[in-house]
Amino acid sequence: MNQSLCSARVLPRARSDRRARDPLADTIGRPCAPLLVAVLALCLTPWSPGFAQAGFDIKSRLSVQTPSDPVLAKARIDSVFLASTTVLWGTSAGLFIERPDGTGTWWNAGNAPFKLEEFVAVAARAPNELWVAVRNPAAGQGLFLYDGTRWQRFHPSLNEMLSELTNCLLVDARNRLWVGYEERGIDRFIGEGYGTKTLRLFGGLKVKDGLLPGSVNSLAESGGRIWVGSTSGLCRFDPDSEHKTSFESWTFERGFPDHAVWAVIPYGNGRVACGTDQGFVVPDGEGWKLIGRADGLATVPVKAIATERGRLWVGHNEGLQVYENGRLSALLYTPDLLPAQPVRCLAARELPDGTSRLFVGTEAGARVFTVR
């Protein structure tokens, strides 16, 4: 997609049999005409990835590691989750549980009950409790739980789930699992019995409870609240409220700078940052600020974000950029950094030595950056 660097658009002059006078030359002299031509050429130059390189350099502070597992290094990566001692990768080849030494375990159609579709979300509440959401663009297989000994499938036809079209998972600070759906709202896994025979497995929140309508695309916890990114905007609620759940919402009609929210992560003091249709949104005082193409973002939308040590990493179809101290970096997409330009998922972990690890999932494999 091309975009002019200059907001003003210069139209061609209509042809005439009479030679038109140059009013600028009459005013400031003919020697300035070459300068005018150079300025016009700059304004008419289309936007291209080369111009994104005008951002600050981050590449010199990175080192990249290719996974030792050859399948993980080349498979499409759909999702990533950082557990206490392992990394969970949802891929086109199945679920990979990566240990610190780079080895790991594959779960796929050969040893698990799910088909190889899209692993839209993965999570772990304990070392031996794995959650996987599997679906294709049109249908869902439901949720799958591995309890250390066997796999179990949860589905609306089997349980009390609101939908089989899972989009996202969240494990909160109290180790509760939340599930966001393409339709019908949010569930929390309860797993508590009531009565003598019935097991209540899920408790739902819907639009009638105050949730914004549309697809729930992302869930995050920040400031003791659960934040929900949806196609209608952003909202949050107190998961520990003793009374009826009350939602606080931000939408485009109410001053939020964009319409759909695709990704949400904790960012700032009890706030969040969001990936949206037109870029990404960060807290700005009591309000919000949109960072987009005009600020140096290579493309939109933004559907993958992560943060470490105050830096905000942004993944999109052109590659990877970082937002630091109010500025966007140059575009990272070269073959020695990423195996493919489209970035599908991100996660970050800060290390005790002052460095950080950035886990990047692309259309053609996973990569891990060490950020100094």
More confident residue, 163 or 35: 163
Give the number of other CB atoms < 10 A from CB of residue 47. 15
Pairing between strand 216-222 and 225-230?
Answer: antiparallel
Residue 304's nearest CA partner among 317, 290, 287 is: 317
Question: What pLDDT is stored for residue 46 in this prediction?
Answer: 40
Residue 371's nearest CA partner among 305, 322, 325, 328 is: 322
Beta-carbon contacts of residue 76 (< 8 Å; ≥ 6 apart): 91, 92, 344, 362, 363, 364
96, pLDDT greater than 60: yes
Find the range with the poorest average confidence among 107-116, 195-204, 261-270, 300-309.
195-204
Find the range with the poorest average confidence among 131-145, 168-182, 265-279, 325-339.
131-145
231, pLDDT greater than 90: yes
Residue 287 binned pLDDT confidence (cut-offs 50, 70, 90) = very high
More confident residue, 42 or 85: 85
pLDDT average, residue stretch 306-333 = 97
More confident residue, 197 or 121: 121
pLDDT average, residue stretch 228-254 = 92
Residue 243: C-alpha distances to residues 122, 203, 240 (Å): 31, 15, 9
Separation CA 13–CA 17 (nearest Å): 13
Mean confidence (pLDDT) of the chain:
86
With respect to CATH, is domain 79-354 assigned 2.130.10.10? yes
Separation CA 284–CA 118 (nearest Å): 35
Domain edges within the chain: 79-354
Question: What pLDDT is stored for residue 334 in this prediction?
Answer: 87
Find the range with the poorest average confidence among 144-148, 179-183, 190-194, 294-298.
190-194
Question: What pLDDT is stored for residue 180 in this prediction?
Answer: 98
pLDDT average, residue stretch 316-343 = 95
Structure tokens at 200: 């209540």
36, pLDDT greater than 50: no
Secondary structure (DSSP) of 125-157: EETTEEEEEEE-SS-EEEEEEE-SS-EEEE-TT
Find the range with the poorest average confidence among 5-9, 125-129, 184-188.
5-9
Residue 43 identity (one-letter amino acid)? C
Question: What pLDDT is stored for residue 158 in this prediction?
Answer: 81
Residue 289 identity (one-letter amino acid)? K
Question: Do residues 212 and 249 lie in contact, with contact meaning Cβ atoms separated by under 8 Å?
Answer: yes
pTM: 0.84
Residue 161: C-alpha distances to residues 187, 215, 242 (Å): 7, 16, 23
225, pLDDT greater than 50: yes
